[in-house]
Amino acid sequence: MSGRQIMTADEIRRATIRLSHEIVEKQAGTDGLVLIGIQRRGVPLARRIAASIAEHEGAALPVGALDITFYRDDLSMVAQQPVVKGTELPTGIDGKTIVLVDDVLYTGRTIRAAMDALVDFGRPQAIRLAVLVDRGHRELPIRADHVGKNVPTSREELVRVHLVEVDGLDEVEIERMVAAPQPEPVA
Amino acid sequence: MTGPAVDLEISRAWLVDPAAGREGPGEIVVRDGVFEAVTWLSGAEADGIGPDGVVIAPGFVDFHVHLREPGNEDAETVATGLAAAAHGGFTTVCAMPNTDPALDEPGVLTQIRAAAAASGSPVELLAHGAVTAGRTGEQLAAIGELADAGVVGFSDDGAPVRSATILRSALAYAGALGLPIVDHAEDASLTGGAEANDGYVATVLGLRGWPTAAEVAAVGRDLAVLADVVRDVPGARLHLTHLSTAGALDLVRAAKAAGLPVTCDVTPHHLGLTDEWLAGARRWAWEAGDDPWSDGALVGPPYDPSLRVNPPLRGRGDAAACLAALLDGTADAVATDHAPHTEVDKAVEFGLASNGISGLETALGILLAAVDAGRLPLLRAIGALTTGPMTLLAGRSRREAAGLVEGTAADLVVFDRSASWAVTPESLASRGKNSPLIGTELRGRVLLTVAGGRIAYEAPDA
Amino acid sequence: MSTAIGPDAAAVPSVDDVPESQPIAWRHRHLLDVDRLSTDELDLIMRTTDAMREVLARPIAKVPALRGRAVTILFYEASTRTRVSFEVAAKNLSADVVNIAASTSSVVKGESLIDTVRTVEALGAQMLVMRHSSSGAPYLAADIFSGSVLNGGDGWHAHPTQALLDLYTMRERMPGGSLAGRKVVILGDLLHSRVARSNIWTLTAAGADLWLCGPATLVRGFEAWANRGAAGRRFHLTTSVDEALRDADVVMALRIQRERMAGGLLPSMREYAARYGLTRERLALARPDALVMHPGPMNEGVEIAPDVAAGPQSVITDQVTNGVAVRMAVLYLLAGTRVPS
């Protein structure tokens, strides 16, 4: 990786704990709260937040995983297919307060797709959004309720979140985008 | 409309003259359409002249073409067919009678001769008459009248002579007039709905199998009937066209050894291509392997309808047998079975496509590929296109000689073995663009074809 | 895959424990055959099918992945199950579906396949699912259609989605999800079977110990294929049903059609049932937990006994369900292929 580090493992840990406190505070407790991570790195983040809440509140929150691949609006633009990772949600999201958890908030399209997906599973009382990094450049009227770190970026930059559960280490880095060669389709 | 008699001098070329049994460096002079001088060079004069450059050969003869006129002029006309012949180096062609109406009486022959004259092409047009009226397999056609009118043989091609009884009568009747029956040997009870050579490729592609036994069984029938007839009618002659199987060629080899009056031809596509082309392979028969799916041979899409032909492209063993039959003389000639079709008849599902390959313009290229691969001597390849088929014409050609003979009208082809040409729909003079070789390059570009002392084809930049 | 989990965070998404693998590029614009699919590509289809199974288990079994895509289903042969399966699959992905049955279209007026495909394209079709009685017909369509062509069965040649759903159904039931070394038997009329032909490619690719079995007249021509193998992957061919079934892990019976008697290939349906029908007694030769499969529609009492078709080892209804998921997966993957404009 040639990127510049913008969050260390320790900063990620502290941001996660702070997010967990904010979530409980906003709900005034843990009743009716469900954490749902967006595949892929939103899922371990949701688990970490749940573990932190369990530690300081003594409550075990339901955690789910949401794969928004089938809800993306850019199917024809992806040069190679995203590998579908699967959705597993806790039973009964009706009337619950869903906190969507993702690593990076950028254009807002992922969150739009996630909300579309969620409402196919039921009717939550409210949907909130918690992200580790907000890098700006929204293309849809969406904002996060809870943000680990705001990072000013340009569109030519790429924010990469690495998490131990997926990548073997915790860090957030930023790098310049290099256009990748795209495979040509064959018959 | 035919152009003027040509004056021509070509020096320092490679002459191939199967009639003289000879090839080598030489020069020709044609004056007023007649070979004035055919000179063989030797010593220092011959330096630097090899068989890989410009070659001069006698004009080719094709014993089996379909010109589609009258009745299917969208696919080909006499004029476009003769133009295709000239582009392929042919100066004499024999049209099959499966037109609409069929050539089963002299009126149709008169009609196509008029079309040939009107075309202005100097290529010689000969014709086969139908064996049976309307090619229905039931009643003999006007064989005597057609013989008088000048046909070179009789055939129900497109289909076999249906019954052994009719075949026996036809062999006797035509034999008494000194003309052959030209049979398309196929036992139709084995080929109902058949699409591709019965074998590995057809099995994998799910195409209905077309067994080699259908041809072998029909040849067996024909030879048995011939042996029966020839006892009473010594002039009876059988010609088996477009043989495609080792089994049938073995039967002919044995019949010839036994002295039966049988001749046969093989096509360029049956000796050069195999059924693996149907799977998407595009390599010559002598390069074919066991399994195109495992050796990386599949380079194009499968089921190309231009490969649908009757008899079907066979396996490499049968293709090799066709080549071997040419080498040992079992096969007397190469005939193209030039079968042009419209796009409407070919751009359809493989199983629904009309049978046939547009072959006049690619015959030389396929044979030269075999020559280049060391599978066929150049002299034999040219012989199969000249002296071989000339012997089948029963003296009915206007040509005085099959070779490069001084004092005779010039029938010749000049081609450059060092030059390739791209086979494209535009490059084919035939209306039939149904060639599986489209998209490939063939060696041996024809530079000039002279028929009966007149220019039939001249390459634009030659 | 379950949609229900408890509050125990440690039990949450097992899918997430899979290490990040190199994403496999899907490079095919069409699905015409299975002979050139790599094992990685087969795996990608299987994993995408897993995701589609999860979608099918949702309260609203519908996702917007193909919203706005026009899928035309063009069938030149009568079929209910495959046509409906494709239709349901496309609708589950929110595609707009148009059905054309050959008998009701201008096909009967002699319109050529090429004309029909051009017309369908002019009417906005972006994906074309077709079934045709002539082997290779989808290749002709793919040659001129600017979108994606999915072969829904052509002649005797191929039935790619059937082979994929069969593979998925077998892998799902095999311990460890692998067919490597498993004895899989395809029993019946191979000669006329596009299902068998496509299964030969996918099952040998999956490493199965594949056996084909049927009367001599209906396995003719497969000997050469068995010996050369599918691209070098060999399989077995026998006319002995006992040899084929002994210790089999999977037995797939193929449909026998009455016209085979008229063609002189079989003496009678009764004789076929007696000698090759998959009965309880014959099935006892296979492993006790052997799977029983049939691509449908069945002639019960001929190639398969009713008690076997409905018995505990039968996964025939799973095949139908998985068929929808596999077709969703294939439609989805093809829709994402970049098409040069």
Q: What are the chain C neighbours of A116 within 8 Å (beta carbons)?
A: 64
Of A76, A86, A117, Cβ closest to residue C50: A86
The residue of chain A nearest to residue C139, with distances taken between CA atoms, is: A187
Task: Name residues 193-212 of chain B within 8 A of C (Cβ).
Answer: 195, 198-200, 202-209
Q: What integer is the mean pLDDT of C66-80?
A: 93
pLDDT band, residue C22 (cuts 50/70/90): very low
Which C residues, 105 through 124, put their C-beta within 8 Å of a C-beta on chain A?
none
Establish if B18 belongs to a structural domain. Answer: no
Q: With contacts defined as CB-CB under 8 Å, which chain C residues touch A109? A: none
Longest dimension (CA), chain C: 66
Q: Which of B349, B350, B354 to mutate to test the interface with C (most CBs of C within 10 A)?
A: B349
CATH 3.40.50.2020 is the classification of domain A9-76+86-157 = yes
pLDDT at A140: 95
Any A CB within 8 A of C129 CB: no
With respect to residue B303, please indicate whether it lies within any of the assigned structural domains: yes
User: Which residue, among C126, C121, C53, has the nearest Cα to C92 in the 3D structure?
Assistant: C53
**pLDDT value of position A84:** 66
State the average pLDDT over residues B251-267: 98
Look up the CATH number of the domain holding residue B304: 3.20.20.140
Do B116 and B78 touch, CB atoms closer than 8 A?
Answer: yes
**Contact between A86 and C54 using a beta-carbon 8 Å cutoff:** yes
Q: Please give the model's pTM, rounded to 2 decimal places.
A: 0.91
Whole-angstrom CA distances from C191 to A28, B203, B460, C239 are 71, 8, 52, 13
Of A70, A85, A165, nearest to C65 by CB-CB distance is A70
Confidence band for B350, pLDDT divided at 50, 70 and 90 = very high
Q: How far apart are alpha carbons B150 and B171 in whole angstroms?
A: 17
What average pLDDT does range B263-283 have in this prediction?
Answer: 98
pLDDT given for residue B295 in this prediction = 87
Of B129 and C12, the structure prediction assigns the larger pLDDT to B129
In tens, the pLDDT along A107-120 reads 999 999 999 999 98
Work out the pLDDT band at C25, boundaries 50, 70, 90: confident
Tens-digit pLDDT profile for residues C29-46: 999 999 989 999 999 999
Q: How confident is the model over A41-55, as pLDDT tens digits?
A: 999 999 999 999 999
Catalytic residue among B183, B198, B337, B345: B337
The answer, for B275 touching chain C at a CB cutoff of 8 Å, is no
- DSSP, collapsed to helix, strand or coil, labels residue B321 as helix
The whole-angstrom separation of Cα C11 and Cα C18 is 14
Where are the strands (E) in chain A, listed by range? 4-7, 33-38, 63-66, 97-105, 126-134, 146-150, 157-162, 171-176
C60/A120 touch (CB, cutoff 8 Å), yes or no:
yes
**Residue C107: pLDDT above 60?**
no
Instruction: For an interface test with B, give the residue of C74, C135, C157 to mutate (most B CBs within 10 A).
Output: C135
Average pLDDT, chain B: 97
Residue A75 has a pLDDT of: 62
Instruction: Count how many domains chain B has.
Output: 1
The pLDDT-based confidence of C56 (bands split at 50, 70, 90) is very high
**Per the domain annotation, does B208 fall within a domain?**
yes
Assess whether B337 carries a catalytic annotation: yes
**Mean pLDDT of the C306-317 span:** 97
B302 touches chain C (CB under 8 A): yes
Cβ atoms C190, C151 nearer than 8 A? no
- Which distant-in-sequence residues (6+ apart) come within 8 Å of C6 by Cβ? A62, A90
Domains of chain C: 27-159+322-335 (3.40.50.1370), 161-316 (3.40.50.1370)
Residue B440 burial (CB count, 10 A): 15
The sign of the dihedral angle between the CA atoms of B223, B225, B231, B235 is: negative
Shortest distance between the Cα of C195 and any Cα of chain B, in A, equals: 11
What is the DSSP-derived secondary structure letter of residue A144?
-
Q: Let me know if residue B166 belongs to a domain.
A: yes
* Tens digit of each residue's pLDDT (9 = 90 or more) over B124-174: 999 999 999 999 999 999 999 999 999 999 999 999 999 999 999 999 999
Whether the CB-CB separation of B453 and B33 falls below 8 Å is answered with yes
Mutation to test the C interface, candidates B210, B212, B298, B303, most C Cβ within 10 Å: B303
Q: Which helix or strand (DSSP H or E) is residue B109 part of?
A: helix B106-119
Name the residue among A23, A38, A35, A34 with its Cα closest to residue A96.
Answer: A34
Distance CA B326, CA B268 (A): 11
Q: Which domain holds residue B71?
A: 67-399
Listed residue (C211, C106, B154, C9) closest to A52, CA to CA: C9
Per-residue model confidence as pLDDT tens digits over C115-149: 999 999 999 999 999 999 999 999 999 999 999 99
Is pLDDT at C254 greater than 90 in this prediction? yes
* Contact criterion met (CB < 8 Å) for A54 and C9: yes
Do residues C199 and C267 lie in contact, with contact meaning Cβ atoms separated by under 8 Å? no
Q: Do B195 and C224 touch (CB under 8 A)?
A: no
The stretches in chain A having pLDDT less than 50 are 1, 77-81, 187
Chain C environment of B301 (Cβ under 8 Å): 139, 142-143
What percentage of chain B carries pLDDT values higher than 90? Answer: 97
ipTM: 0.92
- Looking at the domain assignment, is residue B41 inside a domain? no
Average pLDDT estimate for B262-280: 98
Rounded to an integer, the average pLDDT of B353-382 is: 98
